[in-house]
């Protein structure tokens, strides 16, 4: 005999989410119908693709069938909320969560990872923005396929409209100083410029704002950690020892200011010859995995050296949906955002306008 409705709800609530590693909250499950034709909708605090939702699907179907229930429909809705950031930093208007992508080292693929994470999240139905924090050498526009000379950023008083490209909102210094003039600014001016880009853009209900950081641990990183509300950070490295040492510095900086680290991305971690399909480890191998283990932070994924990925970056287009590397980015994006969903909810913005007077 099939179990009762309440028993089934109880059992579904005890399933461990494969990404958050926490129990499904009973309140996140809507169950309708009866044991012969159950319809279930799961509300998730992070976006997910059909392919990755398959693992939830299997778990739910299994639990229903253990209780003699038959699933007619298993679906999900996203309910992305705002989560905790460093203490004492005010929320950015129009942005629920900020994900900083950085590394102590230049040229390791930060912008590539930042932009492709944004593409993956947008493809999974999240509202995404990309903030180019590289004030001296902005290259987010190119990777989004935007020719800065061809856009004119709408401005109302002191507020800029973000530029829309490939399903993402974006803001970059390159849109505001589009003639490619090299910017020779001193530290405080650079910090001021970053704050302006972050705070004076009319971000339109972004679930996630991805911040592409320049290399190093200088003024920009300091401003970000002190003045911009960062929900979590992603560290990019290549598997060489030198890169790893620089990365350790970057990790230390985020830790010092209380910004969580979602994990490490190991980039350029091997090359598969397109002709003979032989695998070569050009920049040595598994350094990222070893570092992640040594620092007790998760390895979010390893990306091979891929001519297709470089080409897509140069052309400013996303990789095809079914591409193997797109799937790696999709998994990384779900790891990062499911991790965010387990951080405390940030209720402060609900009270931001309350003033206490005598």
**Closer CB to ligand ATP, residue 44 or residue 115?**
115
Contact between 280 and ligand ATP per CB under 6 A = no
Q: Tokens for 9?
A: 């709800």
Contact between 224 and ligand ATP per CB under 6 A = no
**Closer CB to ligand ATP, residue 313 or residue 339?**
313
Contact between 109 and ligand ATP per CB under 6 A = yes
**Closer CB to ligand ATP, residue 109 or residue 260?**
109
**Closer CB to ligand ATP, residue 175 or residue 283?**
283
The label of the residue with tokens 């119908």 reads 33
**Closer CB to ligand ATP, residue 125 or residue 137?**
137
Other Cβ atoms less than 10 A from the Cβ of 256: the count is 9
Cα 83–chain centre separation? 13
Applying CB under 6 A, among 141, 148, 313, 339 the residue interacting with ligand ATP is: 313
Least distance CB 140 / Mg ion (angstroms): 8
Contact between 238 and ligand ATP per CB under 6 A = no
CA distances from 344 to 80, 86, 105, 188 (A): 13, 12, 31, 32
**Closer CB to ligand ATP, residue 215 or residue 263?**
215
Size of the site for ligand ATP (CB under 6 A): 20
Residue 112 interacting partner from ligand ATP, Mg ion, none (CB closer than 5 to 8 Å by kind): ligand ATP
Q: Which stretch binds ligand ATP (CB under 6 A): 149-157, 183-191, 305-313, 350-358?
A: 305-313
Applying CB under 6 A, among 306, 326, 337, 341 the residue interacting with ligand ATP is: 306
Q: What are phi and psi of 229, to 5 degrees?
A: -75, 105
Least distance CB 262 / ligand ATP (angstroms): 17
Q: Which stretch binds ligand ATP (CB under 6 A): 75-83, 107-115, 116-124, 290-298?
A: 107-115
Contact between 187 and ligand ATP per CB under 6 A = no
Residues that bind Mg ion (CB under 5 A): 110-111
Which of 267, 334, 309 is closest to 123 using CA atoms?
Answer: 334
Contact indicator for 114, 267 with CB cutoff of 8 Å: no
Residue 224 interacting partner from ligand ATP, Mg ion, none (CB closer than 5 to 8 Å by kind): none
What burial letters (b/e) apply to 162-178, b meaning 16+ CB within 10 Å?
bbebbebbbbbbbbeeb
What binding mask, one character per residue, do residues 113-142 give for ligand ATP by CB under 6 A, x or -?
---------------------x--x-x---
Residue 26 interacting partner from ligand ATP, Mg ion, none (CB closer than 5 to 8 Å by kind): none
**Closer CB to Mg ion, residue 89 or residue 135?**
135
CA distances from 18 to 8, 264, 337 (A): 19, 19, 13
* Burial of residue 348, with CB atoms counted within 10 A of its CB: 0-12 exposed, 13-18 middle, 19 or more buried: middle
Contact between 305 and ligand ATP per CB under 6 A = yes
**Closer CB to Mg ion, residue 38 or residue 194?**
194
First to last CA, the chain: 64
Contact indicator for 41, 30 with CB cutoff of 8 Å: yes
Contact between 96 and ligand ATP per CB under 6 A = no
The residue of the chain with the least Cβ separation from Mg ion equals: 111
Contact between 106 and ligand ATP per CB under 6 A = yes
What burial letters (b/e) apply to 232-246, b meaning 16+ CB within 10 Å?
bbbbbbbbbeebbeb
**Closer CB to ligand ATP, residue 191 or residue 306?**
306
Residues of this chain that bind ligand ATP (CB under 6 A): 106-112, 134, 137, 139, 214-215, 267-268, 303, 305-306, 309-310, 313
């Amino acid at each position: 005999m099939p179990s009762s409705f309440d028993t089934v709800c109880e059992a579904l609530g005890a399933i461990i989410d494969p990404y958050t590693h926490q129990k499904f909250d009973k309140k996140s499950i809507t169950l309708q119908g009866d044991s012969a034709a159950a319809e279930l909708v799961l509300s998730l605090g992070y976006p997910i693709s059909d392919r990755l939702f398959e693992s939830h699907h299997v778990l739910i179907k299994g639990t229903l069938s253990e209780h003699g229930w038959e699933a007619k429909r298993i679906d999900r809705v996203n309910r992305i909320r705002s989560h905790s950031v460093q203490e004492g930093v005010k929320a950015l208007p129009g942005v629920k969560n900020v994900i900083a992508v950085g590394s102590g080292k230049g040229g390791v693929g930060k912008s590539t990872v930042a932009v492709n994470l944004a593409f993956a999240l947008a493809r999974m139905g999240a509202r995404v923005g990309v903030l180019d924090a590289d004030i001296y050498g902005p290259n987010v526009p190119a990777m989004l396929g935007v020719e800065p000379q061809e856009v004119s950023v709408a401005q109302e008083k002191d507020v800029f409209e973000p530029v829309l490209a490939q399903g993402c909102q974006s803001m970059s210094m390159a849109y505001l100083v589009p003639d490619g003039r090299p910017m020779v600014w001193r530290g405080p001016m650079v910090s001021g410029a970053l704050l302006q880009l972050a705070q004076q853009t009319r971000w339109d209900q972004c679930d996630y704002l991805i911040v592409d950081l320049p290399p190093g641990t200088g003024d920009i990183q300091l401003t970000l950690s002190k003045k911009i509300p960062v929900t979590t950070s992603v560290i990019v490295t290549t598997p060489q020892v030198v890169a790893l040492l620089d990365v350790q510095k970057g990790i230390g900086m985020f830790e010092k200011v209380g910004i969580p680290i979602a994990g490490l991305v190991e980039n350029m971690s091997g090359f598969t010859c397109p002709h003979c399909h032989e695998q070569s480890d050009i920049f040595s191998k598994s350094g990222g995995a070893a570092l992640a283990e040594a620092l007790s932070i998760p390895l979010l994924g390893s990306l091979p050296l891929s001519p297709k990925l470089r080409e897509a970056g140069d052309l400013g287009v996303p990789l095809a949906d079914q591409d193997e590397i797109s799937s790696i980015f999709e998994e990384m994006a779900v790891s990062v955002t499911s991790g965010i969903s387990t951080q405390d909810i940030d209720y402060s913005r609900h009270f931001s306008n309350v003033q206490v007077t005598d």
